[in-house]
Structure formats: C-alpha cells, structure tokens
A and B are shown apart, each in its own frame.
Chain A
C-alpha cells in the first residue's frame, strides 16, 4: 500500500516537472503558427464577393488585429481558463471538437496497438527461439512488408478487398454505420458505450467498422515491436539465469515466458509507448482513408487552412498525451521489473 502511495506521489511530481515543457510547447506552437506564411483571414474570406471588409471582420473575429504579444497573453489567459479558442473550420470550440474526436482516435490507436502487440510479441519470441531458421526469416519478411507498405496503401487495399470485392466489411465511413443509432455518450469510446447501453448489435457494428483501420495501422507498427522483442529475447535467452533455469529442468514455457520474456519486456514497453504516441498523432492517413473522425485529420485540415486555434490545441493535446504515456510507461516498468523505480 505504501509502495503504491509512493508511486502516485512520484508520478505526480513527475507530471508537475513536465509542466514547463508543456508551456514551452504552447508558446512555441503559437509563435510558429504566426510565423508560417498564409493568412487565415484571407483564406476563410473566400466567398464569391468577399473583399477587404470581410477579411477584416474575420481577422477581428480571430483576434488577429491585435499585436502578437497581446495575442499571446490573451491566448495564455484563455488556455489557463480552459478555453482553447474557436475553430474557423468547424465553427466550434476547439475543446469541444477535441473532446468529440479524441476518443475516436484513442479507440482506434488502442485497438491497433493491441493487435500489433498480440501479433508482434509472439512473432518476436518465435523468431528469437529459432534464430536464423525459416521462421526467423519469415518473421523478418513479414515485418519488412508491413513497414514498406504505407498505411494509406494498405488501408486502400484492405478496403478494396474486404469492402469493394468481397463485401465483408461495412462501408469505410467513420465509426459506426450512418443508419445506426448511437449509444448515449458516456466515455466517447463506442465499444464501451455500446456495452454499457447493452446494445450488442451496435457493439458488433462498431467493432466491424473499427477492424480494418486498426489492422492497417497495426501492420505498420508490428515491425518495430517484433524486432525489438526478438533482439531483447535473444539477449535474455542467452543469459545465465535462463541457462540455470533450463539446467534445473523447468518446463520450457516457464523458462521462456516467466524468466526470459519478463526480463526482455522492458524495451518492448518503451517502444510501445513511443509507438502509441506517434500513432495517435500520425495516423492521419488512416483517418482520412476511413473517414475516421479523429484528431489527426482534424489537425491536418486546420493546418492546411492556417486555422490557428485547432492546430495549437492539437499540439498541446499531443504533448500532454506524450507526457501521460511516458508516465504510464515508467509505472509499467515498475510492475514489469520491481527493481526499477521512477523518481
């Protein structure tokens, strides 16, 4: 109990110490957006008759008529009071947009990471058990293939085969069939909300929508996870304690899983944390191809139209997620290997 309390305190301290970094990210993104060429007011005043006056109206609406330092102070004040500004693109508050879209991205990324881990770890272990064998080469080939094919290509391919040719998958447009009714929003994660509402048909429909985009994302990240598992397992299998365990006649699965894998899992957790954060921000192509209403495609659209507030909000969100994921990874370290503490 005491150990748990200590972990929480340390995690809290760790989080506090990352606040200056978040602040830096906030200011940096703010300035970067203003340095980039492209005037959002001109872009959004694109009606057939929009002239100077309309541009001025939009500029005022976005607060761009004030000097940059004043804008920055106002923005910091707003962020401090929980307001990330308003998106010109969707016309909504950025906080509202992100709250709607983040669960979609998280659900997709979690599922993809789960698929990737469930595939990659056994593959890596298998490859490490028989290095140089046909299995090892097979795994290497599969990983190379996954990394070589960009996610949008594999996404389009999956759509072509499973939706267009075979008709097995539902149409690749978002999180749930457009004709289906949504469950009451509790967590924003559709799979969980459907379960809570007891709607199993709905759950199945949402799951079917999720599986293709999750697969195409997973394919891309299987490689780093499997490779790191293999490398780390090779070290662990060659170490003294495994030789001892084998020599005392422990069953092979116990040697591999309990002794070798548990010791080899640390780098895998690290990589999984990094992969997760990267996927969340960088799965924009998958989101586009599957019309997934996630945060990454939202941020890209905002960036193309120089819509400042959503881009800044997105970067801040990603930085926060990165901090939290790193924290989680540290805590998982402690569970995987009690010798490790975070401090």
Chain B
C-alpha cells in the first residue's frame, strides 16, 4: 500500500468515526428538542403589535411571563385551560378585595429577567401602562376587563402592585392572563424607546426583554423561530424550568408535508392538519392524536339581518331547517368536532344558559317550505353564499351541500369564494347577505359572546342583529355577581337567539393535535396554540 493510499484510508476511517460521533450527539439533542411545524408563521416577538399572528402569541407566552395564568382541567379526558382557576405566574399570590374593586399582586422574590435583573413592580406597571396607553392590540382586550387607564395600576412597594377597578368586573383578573399583558423588562425597553416611539414598539417587535421560559435564538419572520430554554425559569407548574432545551417553530405551508413530517418522526407536534390526514393518521395508530373540541370557538352560517330577504325572521327559520347538518358535518370536518344542531329542547326552552348550546334544529324540508310560505316567498329567491379561501378545505364541501339542499326549497344559491382580505372587508362593510364564518372568544362567558358578537354595528356582529332586549340583558349580566341569576340571564339570551335565529351555529371544530407518541402534557389553550412550556417527552 502506498503512502497516499494509507493516508486516504486513515482519512476515511477518521471521517466515519467523526460522523458517527456527530450522529450520537445529534440524536441526544434531538430528544431534548421539540420541533413544531405549522402552516402559519410568526411575524412579531411582541403579540401587542397590530397584525400579529396567532403563532406569535404562542411564542411570546414562552418568552414572557404574565402576572397570572390559567390553570388546567380535564374535559372528557383531555386537558384544557381552566378559566375558573387562575394561578400566579410572576405573582406569588394575589388577592381580590371583598367589594371586587381592588386586586393586589405580590411578585415572586426570585423572579428574574433573562438579563439577570429582578422583576419589580415598576416593570409590571410599565408593561400594564403600555397595554392600555400605546396603540396596541391589548388595549381593546383589557377594555373588556374594565382596565382603561394607567392610573388604575399603582406600585405599592417594589414587589407589590395594585390594580383598581371602577366596577367589580368578573373578567378583570382573567384578562391579565391573556396574551397581551405580558411583563417587559422596563429598563431595557425604555433604553430602546425613542421620542416617536415611547413604548419601544419597533424594538420589541424584533427583540425580547422578558423573564419567560425560553430565549429567542433565531427569529426569521415567516420561516422559523428557534428558542433555547431559560434554565433560570421556575414559573412552571412544578416550580422548575421547561422540559425541552430547544423549541423549533417552523413554517411548513403544505398540510400534506406537515402530515408526512410528523408521521416520519421528523416533527414532534402539529395542530393544523387537514381533517382527512388526521383521520388516516389516527387509523394508523402510530402517533398520538388528541382532539379537543374548541369550546371557545363556533362556526356559523350567518345571515345579514338587515338585508332582504334575510331581514324576515321566517326566511332565517326556513334556512335553519333546510341545512343538511349531518352531511355538512361529515363532509367538512369528517365529524371531528362537537355539533351544535339536532338538540331537543323540552317545551321549547333552552337547556342551559351557557353559550353556545346545541340548537333544536335539523333538516326538515317540509317545515322549511312552510316558513318560506309564511315569509311570503313560497317560490324561494336567489342569493349568494360566501366563504374565504383560507377556509376552503372545510367551507367548500359545505357550500356545495348548502346550495344543493336550498335548491330543494326553491332558493337559488351562487357560491362565492373570496380571498381572505376581501372577505373580511366585505363583512366589515356589512355587504354579504349569506356566508359562513367562525368566531372565537378567549374568555368564553355567555355575556361576553352576546356583547361582542350580537351587539352594535361592528364587524364581529356578523348577523348585524339589532335587538335592544338582547343588548340590555347582556350588559346587565356582565356585572351580575349572583351565579343563578347569571344563568337565568343566559337562558333568556339563548331563548332570544333561537326565536330570532340571527345566525345558525353549526359546530365547534376540534383542534386536532397530532404528536409523536413520546410527547406528553399537551393542553388545549385559550389562544388555540400550543403552550410549549406544558410539554415534555417521556
């Protein structure tokens, strides 16, 4: 063997040994890494920036802490967030005064920002002031909890902060657990504030200054975010740092590719697969599939109550009895969700004051024809049915079924598929007569739903209903301290909803989280994203 030959051999052996060693190191870190793939993308590191995406919410809840967070509970054997149980995150303890007008938070003494400085009440005040003062998304959110002015937040001592309310508001405390009132390191943020931008919106969009469980390693908007664990963080449920050393949030636009990735074990978790893929993955039983009905979300068929012929309640009733609910549920969602149709209400009264509840409607063409006759339109009419491109995979089969079924009672439907921005614009301008859309509420209580989605001439009032009685009851219920009276108000609201049928609730789609069988701790969160801090690998 020549000299060059033996050297070459040596190099080959060395490179094989090297690659084997590298392989085992990689395998080790792989187990401690969570790779989460999604069709959406993260566009800001501060969820308060107008236009921020839902994926951005999930990232910021890992990089920042809030004063308080929601506990979790089991619902039909699956973990979901618990609106009724609020635990401290940066707050060690909190108390609400007996009259409900004062909330006092005592901060954890050991809480530190990622730069090592302690978290003080000053930081909390700056962060809360920012949410209610700066032009950010959190402003409208905290308004729903009666927090509107910086005067309401008072520093008592370096570790105590007090929030005063004008009225005892049930939603004040839960509001502090939503994604907007996260606590910033005010010294760092102020150092990057400018005269034009006193709240450092521009800097915090690209950088973080928090105390959360993860630090940002790489942030490529629209592509990926890689986060590394903050070993100092101890605000988790078991007083220890998060499990995964690294979290990779990667945008993979094609749903079939996401399904392949998780099936091959290259990705650990995905929550936005197509229903058909979820079904086949579930059948193969290699992966863990956790389907949670999104109990704070509802999908509707909406009608604009101000545009003829939908201003006639009998037309709306006719539609409600002419929809092929079961077929739609199967075709659109493959039955993955909880239906809001086909209920029986004893003596026609709502079964509960919760929202939403299953409605006593089903496909009954004879009844639908009678209602049409009562509306003075026995021969039907023509209209359009719109949905947005982003929801085409569920809305398209649904629209075809709606068209087919309504044709049987003489209503001619033209299907309109609109780009997302166009659809939201037309809804905002109240131009669509008949369409499908969904809603979601972070703090799902009956009065909240009715106040936000059935009141006023605003975008989220899809049906444009204007019913003074409904508005009055909903406003009163907001500050109703007595649980049984609140339930009564809820039943009244649900009864008005059914007699007016401003829009038709269809179902609550499931959130299908598909994960490697080793991943545990998944909890359905109010923001409908994954809280990476919940997860571990066994």
Contacts and interface: CB of A to CB of B under 8 A. Distances in A.
Interface of A: 36-40, 42-55, 57-58, 61, 88-92, 97, 100, 156, 159-160, 163-164, 167, 171-174, 178-179, 201, 288-291, 293, 297-298, 301, 303-306
Contact of A159 (B141, B260, B421): B260
Interface size grouping (class) on chain B: 35 or more
Interface in B253-268: 253-254, 256-257, 260-261, 263-264, 266-267
Q: Which of the listed residues B26, B222, B390, B441 has the most CB atoms from chain A within 10 Å of its own CB? A: B222
B289 to A, nearest CB: 19
Nearest to B15: A201
Contacts of A37: 422, 425-426
A297 B44 CA distance: 19
Most buried by A among B35, B137, B440, B452: B137
Interface in B28-84: 29-30, 33, 35, 37, 41, 43-44, 49-52
Given A52-B458, A291-B253, A47 B137 contact: yes
Nearest to A305: B421
Interface stretch (B96-104, B244-252, B510-518): B244-252
Given A49-B140, A289-B256, 4 more contacts: A47-B52, A47-B140, A47-B141, A291-B257
Nearest to A201: B19
Interface string B450-493: 00100000110000000000000000000000000000000000
Nearest to A88: B51
Contacts of A39: 421, 424-425, 428
Contact of A178 (B50, B137, B224, B422): B224
A171 B263 CA distance: 11
B425 A38 contact: yes
A291 B205 CA distance: 24
Interface centre among A37, A55, A167, A291 (most CB of B within 10 A): A291
A301 to B, nearest CB: 8
B421 to A, nearest CB: 4
Nearest to A46: B424
B221 A90 contact: yes
Given A47-B137, A88-B51, A171 B224 contact: no
Given A38-B419, A61-B50, A288 B425 contact: no
B157 interface: no
B389 interface: yes
B266 A49 contact: no
B279 interface: no
A210 B132 CA distance: 48
A289 B257 contact: yes
B421 A304 contact: yes
Contacts of B220: 100, 293
B137 A50 contact: yes
B420 interface: yes
A38 B421 contact: yes
Interface in B186-224: 205-206, 220-224
B257 A54 contact: no
Interface string B130-158: 00000101011101100000000000000
A229 B52 CA distance: 50
Interface in B402-452: 419-422, 424-426, 428, 440-442, 452
A293 B223 contact: yes
Contacts of B44: 91
A84 to B, nearest CB: 16
B254 A291 contact: yes
Contact of B266 (A42, A53, A171): A171
B256 A48 contact: no
Contacts of B144: 49
Contacts of A58: 50-51
Contacts of A304: 389-390, 419-421
A91 B205 contact: yes
26 contacts: A38-B419, A38-B421, A38-B422, A38-B424, A43-B421, A44-B50, A44-B51, A47-B52, A49-B141, A49-B144, A53-B140, A88-B51, A90-B41, A90-B221, A92-B221, A97-B222, A100-B220, A164-B264, A172-B257, A173-B261, A179-B26, A179-B29, A179-B33, A298-B222, A301-B222, A304-B390
Nearest to A173: B252
A306 B388 CA distance: 13
Nearest to B226: A178
Contact of B222 (A163, A290, A293): A293
B186 to A, nearest CB: 22
Contact of B223 (A42, A88, A156, A174): A174
Contacts of B205: 91
Given A90-B222, A304-B419, A304-B420, A288 B51 contact: no
Contacts of A38: 419, 421-422, 424-425
Given A58-B50, A171-B261, A289-B257, A306 B422 contact: yes
Given A43-B424, A179-B26, A289-B257, A89 B222 contact: yes
A38 B429 CA distance: 11
A40 B428 CA distance: 12
A297 B426 CA distance: 25
B355 to A, nearest CB: 15
Contact of B50 (A57, A92, A163, A291): A57
B43 A90 contact: yes
Contacts of B263: 164
B527 to A, nearest CB: 9
Nearest to B265: A171
Contacts of A167: 264
A16 to B, nearest CB: 35
B414 to A, nearest CB: 17
A65 to B, nearest CB: 13
Contact of A306 (B30, B206, B223, B421): B421
B420 A305 contact: yes
A290 B257 CA distance: 8
Interface in B261-315: 261, 263-264, 266-267
Given A48-B441, A178-B250, A54 B422 contact: no
Contact of B251 (A36, A289, A291): A291
Contacts of A306: 419, 421-422
B264 A49 contact: no
Nearest to A170: B266
Contacts of B458: 51-52
A42 B428 contact: yes
Interface centre among B143, B248, B422 (most CB of A within 10 A): B422
Contacts of B264: 163-164, 167, 171
B430 to A, nearest CB: 12
Q: Which 10 A-B pairs have the closest CB atoms?
A: A38-B421, A306-B421, A38-B422, A90-B221, A44-B51, A49-B140, A43-B421, A39-B425, A90-B222, A171-B266
B425 A42 contact: yes
Nearest to A40: B421
A288 B41 contact: no
Nearest to B140: A49
B266 A54 contact: no
B50 A297 contact: no
A90 B41 CA distance: 8
B30 A179 contact: yes
Nearest to A164: B260
Contacts of B261: 171, 173
Contacts of A91: 43-44, 49, 51, 205-206, 221
B140 A178 contact: no
A70 B440 CA distance: 38
Contacts of B426: 37
